[in-house]
């Protein structure tokens, strides 16, 4: 099946997915004309490792002649056309926006743009794709909107749109307001939200602090770019997010069932071969909790790269959960400590990632990295308002173990030289008592 090779080279393609089995094209956003240029959204069905189907959104631009600068976006040759990834093709992005902005466009199966506040799309706006995106593809539109196209799509509400709209309606300052979304039938394809050109993401800010510390080694509190105050403010922003999401409804989960779910996830990772017994002991502690665990809607995939430091405070984005997980699972209530654990893992990653990249002597890096992580994790937890009771500690530990085991497999698949970061963290977490 065509396009298979291109899909497999993309970071948003799940590595365990096996073969392309079908392709469906939506109506043309721009039908090929005399110049041979056409654009449309296509949905590609792929068999997963378990035999289920996963659907990818792959907007495509069709051209009769090669277009300079798009060599890396070339997906296929078909019926005399060169087929490119339209989200990497500036002219095609404009055609997609024009199709969404055309209120008179009719036809079954056409992608439709909608907005709660009357936002209008400008097809003539300059569009620039963000290069750091991994699970989806985001494009800056003009100087005020970010257009996020979901690469993995499915039937049912995407949590990023669902939760984003609900939070926007409250006037929440901890998220980027949603200005519109795109769907076809019951499949959500994309969303538009506020863009902050002067903002920096939490991952870059944390790593800048680490680089400053490595340039002038000493206690983390004396670093010229000490991150602790920002970590505390970020913790408060995540607490506000959780409080707003809590108002959408709460429930309780049986600790035994939660422990079993984490246990099954761990057993499916490569780490189970080495640390299966130690992880089982940790999950048994969770199963032994006397009280039910409070659950609610959560972010589901929270880390420093999902946060922005704007001029008026921290904002959290990408509320869709794990993009590779089924939509219905991503919408299930979960423990807020899953999100908190994700942020703690991200704070632990920052110093080690910098040290590996610049080649810092491990004897120098280890004490500095542990001091930086301890200081900033404590600041985040204080800002969040985390309690120090035993149940919280057990939940945080188990969710960090779950996250670290996932990270080991991710790094082995994508960045083997970084696999030592989560592997060492997992060993420390399993040794804790």
- Per-residue b or e along 328-349, where b marks 16 or more CB atoms closer than 10 Å to that residue's CB: eebbbbbbbbbbbbbbbbbbbb
Domain boundaries, the chain: 4-194, 200-431
Reply yes or no on whether the pLDDT at 2 is more than 70: no
| Mean pLDDT computed over every residue of the chain | 93
| pLDDT band per the 50, 70, 90 thresholds, residue 19 | confident
Instruction: Mention every residue, 6+ apart, whose C-beta is less than 8 A from residue 84.
Output: 60, 61, 62, 63, 67, 70, 73, 74, 75, 92
Q: Could you tell me which residue, 177 or 11, shows the higher pLDDT? A: 177
Q: Which of 356, 349, 299 lies closest to 322 in space, CA to CA? A: 299
| pLDDT band per the 50, 70, 90 thresholds, residue 51 | confident
Q: List pLDDT tens digits, range 278-293.
A: 999 999 999 999 999 9
Q: List pLDDT tens digits, range 190-199.
A: 999 999 999 9
pTM: 0.93
| pLDDT value of residue 211 | 93
| pLDDT value of residue 16 | 80
Instruction: Mention every residue, 6+ apart, whose C-beta is less than 8 A from residue 215.
Output: none
**DSSP β-bridge partners for residue 74:** 84
Reply yes or no on whether the pLDDT at 98 is more than 50: yes
Question: Is 191 within 8 Å of 159 (Cβ atoms)?
Answer: no
- Is residue 119 packed enough to be buried (19+ CB in 10 Å), middle (13-18) or exposed (0-12)? middle
SS3 286: helix
| pLDDT band per the 50, 70, 90 thresholds, residue 433 | low
Q: What is the mean pLDDT of residues 343-356?
A: 97
Reply yes or no on whether the pLDDT at 1 is more than 50: no
Q: Could you tell me which residue, 21 or 147, shows the higher pLDDT? A: 147
| pLDDT band per the 50, 70, 90 thresholds, residue 142 | very high
Q: Could you tell me which residue, 4 or 288, shows the higher pLDDT? A: 288
Q: Which CATH number, 3.40.720.10, 3.40.50.10810, 3.90.1200.10, 1.25.40.20, labels domain 200-431?
A: 3.90.1200.10
Q: What is the mean pLDDT of residues 40-57?
A: 92
């Amino acid at each position: 099946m065509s396009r298979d090779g291109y899909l497999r080279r993309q970071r948003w393609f799940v590595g365990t997915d096996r073969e392309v089995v079908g392709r469906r094209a939506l109506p043309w956003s721009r039908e090929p004309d005399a110049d041979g240029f056409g654009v449309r959204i296509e949905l590609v069905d792929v068999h997963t490792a378990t035999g289920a189907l996963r659907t990818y959104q792959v907007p495509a631009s069709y051209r009769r002649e090669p277009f300079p600068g798009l060599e890396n976006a070339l997906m296929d040759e078909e019926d005399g056309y060169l087929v490119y990834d339209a989200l990497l093709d500036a002219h095609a992005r404009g055609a997609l926006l024009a199709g969404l902005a055309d209120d008179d466009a009719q036809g079954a199966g056409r992608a439709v743009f909608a907005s709660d506040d009357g936002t209008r799309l400008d097809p003539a706006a300059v569009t620039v794709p963000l290069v750091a995106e991994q699970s989806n593809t985001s494009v800056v539109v003009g100087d005020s909107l970010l257009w996020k196209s979901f690469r993995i799509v499915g039937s049912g509400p995407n949590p990023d749109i669902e939760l984003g709209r609900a939070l926007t309606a409250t006037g929440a300052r901890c998220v980027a307001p949603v200005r519109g979304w795109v769907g076809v039938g019951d499949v959500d394809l994309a969303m538009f939200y506020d863009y902050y050109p002067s903002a920096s993401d939490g991952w870059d800010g944390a790593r800048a602090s680490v680089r400053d510390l490595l340039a002038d080694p000493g206690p983390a509190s004396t670093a010229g770019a000490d991150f602790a105050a920002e970590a505390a403010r970020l913790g408060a922003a995540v607490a506000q997010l959780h409080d707003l999401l809590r108002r959408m409804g709460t429930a309780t989960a049986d600790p035994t069932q939660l422990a079993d779910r984490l246990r099954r996830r761990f057993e499916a990772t490569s780490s189970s071969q080495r640390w299966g017994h130690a992880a089982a002991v940790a999950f048994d502690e969770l199963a032994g909790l006397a009280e039910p665990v409070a659950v609610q809607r959560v972010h589901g995939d929270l880390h420093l790269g999902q946060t922005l430091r704007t001029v008026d405070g921290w904002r959290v984005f990408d509320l869709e959960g794990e993009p590779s997980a089924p939509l219905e699972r991503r919408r299930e209530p979960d423990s807020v400590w899953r999100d908190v654990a994700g942020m703690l893992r991200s704070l632990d990653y920052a110093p080690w990632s910098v040290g590996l990249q610049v080649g810092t002597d491990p004897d120098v890096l280890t004490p500095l990295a542990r001091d930086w992580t301890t200081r900033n994790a404590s600041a985040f937890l204080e800002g969040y308002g985390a309690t120090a009771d035993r149940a919280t500690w057990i939940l945080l530990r188990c969710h960090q173990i779950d996250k670290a085991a996932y990270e080991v497999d991710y790094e082995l698949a994508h960045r083997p030289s970084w696999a030592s970061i989560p592997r060492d963290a997992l060993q420390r977490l399993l040794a804790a008592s």
